[in-house]
Amino acid sequence: MANLGFVGLGVMGGEMVNRLLEKGHRVTGYNRTRAKAQRLIDRTMRWADSPRAVAEAAEFTFSMVTNSAALAAVTDGPDGILAGLSAGKLLIDMSTVSPEFSRALATRVREKGADMVDAPVSGSVITLQQGKLSVMVGGRRESFERIKPVLDDIGPKVTYVGENGLALSMKIATNLSLAVQMLAFSEGVLLAEKSGIARETAVDVLVHSAIASPMIQYRGPFILQMPPEAWFDVNMMQKDMLLALELGRQRNVPLPTTAVTNEFLTAARGMGKEKQDFAVVFDVLAHMSGVEK
- Active-site annotation, residues: 171
Distance CA 134, CA 152 (A): 9
Handedness of CA 53, 119, 157, 245 (dihedral sign): positive
Per-residue H/E/C for 213-282: CHHHHHHHHHHCCCCCCCCCEHHHHHHHHHHHHHHHHHHCCCCHHHHHHHHHHHHHHHCCCCCCEHHHHH
Distance CA 119, CA 157 (A): 12
Long-range CB contacts for residues 283-286, cutoff 8 Å, separation at least 24: 285/183, 285/186, 285/187, 285/190, 286/186, 286/190
Handedness of CA 165, 154, 150, 65 (dihedral sign): positive
Distance CA 1, CA 20 (A): 10
Q: Is 276 left (phi over 0), alpha (psi -120 to 50) or beta?
A: beta
Radius of gyration, alpha carbons of the chain: 20
Tell me how far the alpha carbon of residue 193 is from its chain's centroid. Answer: 32
Long-range CB contacts for residues 251-257, cutoff 8 Å, separation at least 24: 255/176, 257/180
